[in-house]
C-alpha cells in the first residue's frame, strides 16, 4: 500500500430508494465510503443487502436518490453522455455473469480493439494494435492467436472472465469494480482470476473494489472490508480486524456460514 493515502472514490450519504409509498424499499441507506488509491476494498453482504445497487450507483449506471459520489476529491459529473464516457475511462467493471457480459455478435478482436480505441489508440498501425492485444491476452494467460476471430460464446466461463480482465488491462482505468467476478466459475479458475486481479493492483496500481458474498474471498484479497446489511455498513476496517475479530453479530454469522476445513463447521446456527 502507498504510504500517503490518496482518496480515489468516496461517497457521502449515498441512498437509493426503489418504489414509493407503502412499497418503498431502501436498497442503499446513507452510505459513506472512502476508497484510497491502490487499495483492494471488499464489500461483503448476503443477497439482497444492496451490494449491487451500490456498485451500479458508483458506476453511474443508475442515479442515486440522494447523496453524492466524489471521484478523486471532486464531485462526479456525468450529466451528459460525453461526460459519462469520460468517467468510464476511469472506472470499469467486471460482472458476475460472464456469459451475458458480451455482445454475441462481436468477435473478440473487436471487443479488444474497442478498448484500444477508447484509450485513443485509433491511429496506431494495425501491427501495433495486434501486439497490444496479444500482450493483454498474455497477461491473463490466454493466447491471442487462438482467440482471434472467435466469438465470446466459444470460450468457457473462466476464459470469458479472463478476457474481461484483459479488457481492463488495455483500458487501464483508475478503479476496477468487480461485482462477484468469481461466483459463476469453478474453484480452480477462481484462483487464477483472483491472482490476476492482485497482479493488476500490483503492476498497474489500480484500485480494486471487490463485491462478494463470500467472506473467505474478501479475506484473501482485500486490505479493507466493509460489511453491508440491508443497505447499511455495519462494520468496516482492515481485513484482519474485521474477519478475525468481528464485533457485529451479522459479521460473525457471515463468517460462520462459510464452510471451513481446519475448524469445525457449525451447522446448527441457521
Partner 1 sequence: MSNVILEVRELTTKWVTRFKEDICAVDHVSLKVEEGKSLGIAGESGCGKSTLALSLMGYYFPPLHYMSGEIIIAGRNISRMDPDDIRKSILGREIAYIPQSAMNALNPTQKIIHFIEDVVQAHDPYQTKKEIYELARSCFETLGLPAGVLQKYPVELSGGMKQRTVIAISVILFPKVLIADEPSSALDVTSQKMVIKMLKNLMENGFIESLIFITHELPLLYNVTDDIMVMYAGQIVEKGTAKEVVFDPLHPYAKGLMGSIIVPEQGQRDVKLTAIPGVPPNLKNPPTGCRFAERCKYVRPECTLHSIPLRDVGVGRAYRCILSEKELREAYAKEADKNAR
C-alpha span between 1 and 202 (Å, rounded): 9
Q: How many helices (H) and strands (E) does the chain have?
A: 10, 11
Range 47-86, binding partner 1 (CB under 8 A): 47-48
Range 198-227, binding partner 1 (CB under 8 A): 213-220
Write the interaction track for partner 1 spanning residues 123-152; mark x where CB under 8 A is met and - where it is not. ------------------x-----------
Q: Per CB under 8 A, does 255 bind partner 1?
A: yes
Among 66, 135, 186, 203, binds partner 1 (CB under 8 A): 186
Sign of the CA dihedral running 197, 198, 200, 206:
positive
Give Dmax over CA atoms of the chain in angstroms. 63
Taking only Cα atoms into account, the Rg of the chain, rounded to an integer number of angstroms, comes to 19
C-alpha span between 88 and 90 (Å, rounded): 5
Q: Per CB under 8 A, does 241 bind partner 1?
A: no
Residue (29 or 46) nearer to partner 1, CB: 46
Contact range with partner 1 by CB under 8 A, out of 11-19, 41-49, 98-106, 201-209:
41-49
C-alpha span between 150 and 109 (Å, rounded): 8
Q: Per CB under 8 A, does 18 bind partner 1?
A: no
Q: Report the candidate in 180, 205, 226, 185 with the shortest Cα–Cα distance to residue 47.
A: 180
Instruction: State the residues that interact with partner 1 by CB under 8 A.
Output: 46-48, 141, 156-159, 183-192, 194-195, 213-220, 239-240, 243-244, 253-255, 257-263, 265, 267, 270
Amino acid at each position: 500500500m502507498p504510504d500517503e493515502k490518496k482518496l480515489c472514490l468516496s461517497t457521502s450519504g449515498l441512498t437509493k430508494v426503489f418504489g414509493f409509498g407503502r412499497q418503498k424499499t431502501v436498497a442503499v441507506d446513507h452510505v459513506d465510503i472512502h476508497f484510497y488509491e491502490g487499495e483492494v476494498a471488499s464489500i461483503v453482504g448476503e443477497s439482497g443487502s444492496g451490494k449491487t445497487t451500490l456498485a451500479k450507483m458508483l458506476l453511474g449506471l443508475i442515479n442515486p436518490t440522494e447523496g453524492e459520489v466524489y471521484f478523486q476529491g471532486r464531485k462526479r459529473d456525468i450529466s451528459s453522455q460525453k461526460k459519462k464516457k469520460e468517467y468510464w475511462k476511469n472506472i470499469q467493471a467486471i460482472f458476475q455473469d460472464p456469459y451475458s457480459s458480451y455482445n454475441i455478435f462481436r468477435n473478440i478482436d473487436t471487443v479488444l480493439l474497442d478498448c484500444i480505441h477508447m484509450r485513443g489508440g485509433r491511429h496506431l498501425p494495425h501491427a501495433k494494435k495486434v501486439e497490444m492485444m496479444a500482450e493483454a491476452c498474455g497477461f491473463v494467460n490466454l493466447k491471442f492467436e487462438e482467440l482471434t476471430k472467435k466469438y465470446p460464446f466459444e470460450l468457457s466461463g473462466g476464459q470469458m472472465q479472463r478476457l474481461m480482465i484483459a479488457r481492463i488491462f488495455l483500458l487501464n482505468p483508475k478503479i476496477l469494480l468487480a461485482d462477484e467476478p468469481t461466483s459463476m466459475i469453478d474453484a480452480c479458475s477462481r484462483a487464477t482470476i483472483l491472482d490476476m486481479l492482485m497482479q493488476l493492483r500490483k503492476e498497474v496500481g489500480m484500485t480494486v473494489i471487490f463485491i462478494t458474498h463470500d467472506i473467505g474471498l474478501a479475506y484473501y484479497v482485500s486490505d479493507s472490508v466493509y460489511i453491508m446489511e440491508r443497505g447499511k455498513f455495519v462494520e468496516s476496517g482492515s481485513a484482519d480486524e474485521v474477519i478475525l475479530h468481528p464485533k457485529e453479530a451479522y459479521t460473525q454469522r457471515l463468517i460462520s456460514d462459510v464452510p471451513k476445513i481446519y475448524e469445525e463447521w457449525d451447522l446448527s446456527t441457521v
